[in-house]
Amino acid sequence: QVQLVQSGAEVKKPGASVRVSCKASGYTFTSFYIHWVRQAPGQGLEWMGWINPKSGGTNYAQKFQDRVTMTRDTSIRTAYMELSRLNSDDTAVYYCASQFCTSTSCGNLFDPWGQGTLVTVSS
């Protein structure tokens, strides 16, 4: 079945960068965009952007435009999200999620999701 498995929890100091990975299985990796969504503790969901695994093209939310980089390695079916210049507000669970498609069309909604990666930013 379609599955996304993310890397493990990270603890980072303010000002550092973090890279989270998302390994796909059960489908053709280049067929569906991978999105990244984060959730601060006790808070709601915040979309960060997407990567097209086929072309490498990206689209970032304006809030993260200057700090996020999404990449992929098709040889190992893995997408990456790197966030730089971390601060305490970046403490959150980061999810990757596959673009959802029906038999006739695709949209920028998400199914399935990875299990999430907790990133803690603390001095």
The least CB distance from residue 63 to another protein, in Å, is 8
With contacts defined by CB under 8 A, name the span among 10-18, 25-33, 54-62, 67-75 that binds another protein: 54-62
Comparison of 16 and 27: residue with beta carbon closer to another protein: 27
Residue 32 Cα distances to 18, 29, 50, 77, 93, angstroms: 24, 7, 10, 12, 22
**Which residues from 3-42 bind another protein, rule CB under 8 A?**
35
107 is an interface residue for another protein by CB under 8 A = yes
Phi, psi dihedral angles at 35 (to 5 degrees): -105, 155
User: Helix H segments across 4-119?
Assistant: none
Among 45, 56, 73, 87, binds another protein (CB under 8 A): 45
Contact between 73 and another protein by CB under 8 A: the answer reads no
Least Cβ distance, residue 111 to another protein (angstroms)? 4
Residue 84, sorted as left (phi over 0), alpha (psi -120 to 50) or beta, turns out to be beta
φ and ψ at 66, to 5 degrees?
-95, 5
